[in-house]
Amino acid sequence: MAYDLRKIPSQPPRARTYEDYLARDSRPAPANLLDTGTAALETRGLDPRRYTDRSFYERERRMWDQVWQIACREEHLPNVGDHMVYEVGKRSYIVVRASTTEIRAYPNACLHRGRKLRTESGRAAEFRCPFHGFTWSLQGDLTHLPCEWDFPHLNKEDLSLPEVQVDTWAGWVFINPDPAAPPLAEYLDPIREHYAPYLWDQSYMGLHVGKVLHGNWKVIQEAFMESFHSLYTHPQIVGYIDDFGCSYDQWEGKPHVNRMMVPFVAASPYVIDQVSEQEVLEDWLGGRATGSVSLDDCATARERMARINRAAAEEATGANLQAVSDAELVDGWYYNVFPNLMFWGGYGPNMWYRFRPWEDDHEKTFMEVGYIMRHPKNTPKPAPAKMIALDIDQPWSSVEALGSLGGVLDQDTQNMAAVQEGLNATFASAVQLARYQESRIRHMHKTLDLYLGSDSTKT
């Protein structure tokens, strides 16, 4: 649907807050959605060189060596010996199901002369270096030392593969190279508690798409940390996504997690006078279903869609979701986990994003988009979707399974490259941020400062 942008005021008159939506929904909202945090709002900008300077990127290596990061899903490792190669910057790790009960992770480097042990993910009974044949068990013990007579100076017992920390949450396998890092449970606070109800033991990766993008990894990620840009970048969606009624949340003393909650199936106050509830519903369904659906006896499109999604989620999970709130079935919640992860909440399907520097280039990023689906309880976990890899010139919209999201991501992609180019061209000393709507970007940079010992206003 097209909207008349000339009618848009700079301060919308019929704005609703996210709390307003929760208060009007057909079921009471759970405590996790009402806990919007206590963080103080700030106004300081950011030094543009954080995105453009190679030296700043080099300093960030220190951060990547200290943070919890996703290596893969548990369903990537169903059998003993299954392993995934996870890479970020110049780092490479092997994450392996070492036994039925344990997952281990090792730096991907032979302890002889350093060759990468594995160049691809796969299944193996042991890790044999292709160069001279040094061999390790899945538990990391050196089991074969070729020409052992020529290494009288080496003790096999001392040549176990060094391990990095591994933990799991919600079906994800995380690693942390830093042995002194806090436990994952503490790092993820409060997302673990907030996401506890959502049947993650029944989750699996149902769609996985990756694409190379022009732009520093923070430029790319920040494109998804506010809805403020929707009106001018994605004007086609503001008839059914309320870009203004979002909640941007941070919690005191919790540097690794922040949140944006976006009301879906509700018109932006900028265009609300131009659209009926029936049109909101049809517009929302336009990219997702054929045929028209009526409001039935529901007062709002949002309530109607919650009813449809409640039935679909009950069928997918086998669970009784009658008491579950509309927001948990309809809205987009984006929890960012520092430094580069984004998880959607609710009963799904849930999206997931990850952003990594591409080929160690500080101005290119590999972005992944996934759909986390649910399977019925006590049924075998489906195999994870194989990643569809797009090159830098391939549009997201070439992936049919992304539906209307593909076009939205292509609009974002155009901004990203132009932002990176503008940041290289700017004479400004600071990137300016909105106090509230862009507060999560500032929060992320402040956490980065904690790891780098830097000040985000002065690189």
131 is an interface residue for ligand FES by CB under 6 A: yes
Short-list 22, 426, 440, 15, CA closest to 231 = 15
**Interacting positions 15-34 with Fe ion (CB under 5 A):** none
Is the separation of the CB atoms in 342 and 42 below 8 Å? no
Residue 143 Cβ, how far from ligand FES at the closest point, in Å?
Answer: 13
Nearer to ligand FES, 111 or 223 (CB): 111
412 is an interface residue for Fe ion by CB under 5 A: yes
Residue 337 Cβ, how far from Fe ion at the closest point, in Å?
Answer: 20
112 is an interface residue for ligand FES by CB under 6 A: yes
Stretch that binds ligand FES, among 37-45, 78-86, 112-120, 438-446 (CB under 6 A): 112-120
**Interacting positions 131-160 with Fe ion (CB under 5 A):** none
Residue 86 Cβ, how far from ligand FES at the closest point, in Å?
Answer: 20
- CB neighbour class for 158 (10 Å; exposed up to 12, middle 13-18, buried from 19): exposed
129 is an interface residue for ligand FES by CB under 6 A: yes
Backbone angles phi, psi at 159, to 5 degrees: -110, 30
Both tokens of residue 412?
């974002």
377 is an interface residue for ligand FES by CB under 6 A: no
Is the separation of the CB atoms in 389 and 371 below 8 Å? no
β-sheet with 247-250: strand ranges across? 247-250, 257-262, 332-337, 341-344, 350-358, 361-374, 203-214, 388-390
113 is an interface residue for ligand FES by CB under 6 A: yes
CA 149/CA 359 separation, integer angstroms = 40
Nearer to ligand FES, 161 or 330 (CB): 161
Residue 131 Cβ, how far from ligand FES at the closest point, in Å?
Answer: 4
226 is an interface residue for Fe ion by CB under 5 A: no
CA 50/CA 446 separation, integer angstroms = 12
Quick one: what does residue 131 bind among ligand FES, Fe ion, none, with the CB cut-off 5 to 8 Å set by partner type? Answer: ligand FES
CA 447/CA 122 separation, integer angstroms = 35
CA 369/CA 406 separation, integer angstroms = 10
Residue 156 Cβ, how far from ligand FES at the closest point, in Å?
Answer: 14
Q: What contacts 92, CB < 8 A, 6 or more positions away?
A: 85, 86, 107, 108, 109, 116
CA 125/CA 103 separation, integer angstroms = 14
Nearer to Fe ion, 25 or 412 (CB): 412
**Interacting positions 134-163 with ligand FES (CB under 6 A):** 134
Nearer to ligand FES, 144 or 381 (CB): 144
Quick one: what does residue 115 bind among ligand FES, Fe ion, none, with the CB cut-off 5 to 8 Å set by partner type? Answer: ligand FES
- Give the binding site for Fe ion (CB under 5 A): 412
- Give the binding site for ligand FES (CB under 6 A): 110, 112-113, 115, 129, 131-134
